[in-house]
Structure 1
């Protein structure tokens, strides 16, 4: 009876260890996935890609309900833009970006340059200043809700440490432990093989 109880306890312990290992692997996988998404979001919001896609975080509700606050918009440059397009642009004299819809497009008869009037869907009036094509970064292709919050936070000093440095350190530490564990197994295996291959002393 005691041996049956011991075997049952061992099975329960093995099952528990299995669940713990699965949970650890799932958490580790989610951590890696989250890190890739956040780092990718930060990189794509700062640099052009080979496919001309850029990501930008939406910090206001001027495009509600189509684009929510805290969303990330994927933007691609086009050769031309028309009324109704949702675009991301830089207002004159500003380093920040705005994502609004083109409400009007007028061509200057003297310069033949197109001037665009923009408007947020949730705003009651058009934007005060018009913009030129050179100020437009691109047209919005799609948006991802909520992703903008971690991407914006990761671009601050505290956010960079909490969302990128610390998770990266955890991942590197975990990989070092796994490599050490595998190396230990290999060394032990070779030691056993060497001991077996030694001739027995008479």
Structure 2
């Protein structure tokens, strides 16, 4: 069956509308075919993609730094679900970990079993100034219905000259990151709050400009 002239015009207009896009001025313009883009247009699109990738990578780095210091702060403030971190200031436990390392401890509770060979962080029972030591347990002593530990630095020739009560134990050694303690000391003494504030503001700015604002534009259009 042959189509009438009216129906052919209608089908032709529908077919042409599929390949045109309408702008605010009411004019129709033929849609761009990606395969027909020139070298400059392809290069600009590539630059945009790389710029977006670089922006989000920078945001990711700032968020990781912010989260890292947040975990350190929460652990130092005594939040039980977060680990405790300490900076090694002497070489008494070398080669297990050296001066300047950042050690990560699990918070100690009385329900945790103690055994020789385990490394623990404890308050020095001799010095009354809150000095913490991280040494290895070499013996467990039961005295007057209390538990004491005998400790020794791995690099030291002799054990410590005192017994430490179980109540003085703060944490159980988990792992150490070499040299990171030096970085933490530098940042905490000089740039900690500034670094955290900058990281937070940069993350908020990027989320507002790269996520929320484009989403609003798409909704309005």
Report TM bin, short chain: 0.7 to 0.9
SS in 1 for 2:38: helix
Indicate the residue corresponding to 1:117 in structure 2. Answer: 150
Q: 1:134 aligns with which of 154, 159, 167?
A: 167
Indicate the residue corresponding to 1:70 in structure 2. Answer: 101
Indicate the residue corresponding to 2:77 in structure 1. Answer: 46
1:34 and 2:61 are equivalent in the alignment: no
SS in 2 for 1:83: coil
Between Structure 1 and Structure 2, whose CA radius of gyration is higher?
Answer: 2
1:162 and 2:194 are equivalent in the alignment: yes
What is the alpha-carbon root mean square deviation over aligned residues?
A: 2.6
Contact 2:117 2:136 in 1 (8 A): yes
Q: Aligned pair count?
A: 179
1:172 and 2:215 are equivalent in the alignment: no
TM-score normalised to the size of structure 2?
0.68
SS in 2 for 1:10: helix
Tell me how far apart the structure 2 counterparts of residues 153 and 130 of structure 1 sit (CA, whole Å): 34
Contiguous gaps of at least 5 residues in structure 2: 1-36
Tell me how far apart the structure 2 counterparts of residues 96 and 184 of structure 1 sit (CA, whole Å): 58
Tell me how far apart the structure 2 counterparts of residues 163 and 74 of structure 1 sit (CA, whole Å): 25
Tell me how far apart the structure 2 counterparts of residues 62 and 159 of structure 1 sit (CA, whole Å): 29
1:101 and 2:136 are equivalent in the alignment: yes
Contiguous gaps of at least 5 residues in structure 1: 1-5, 190-202
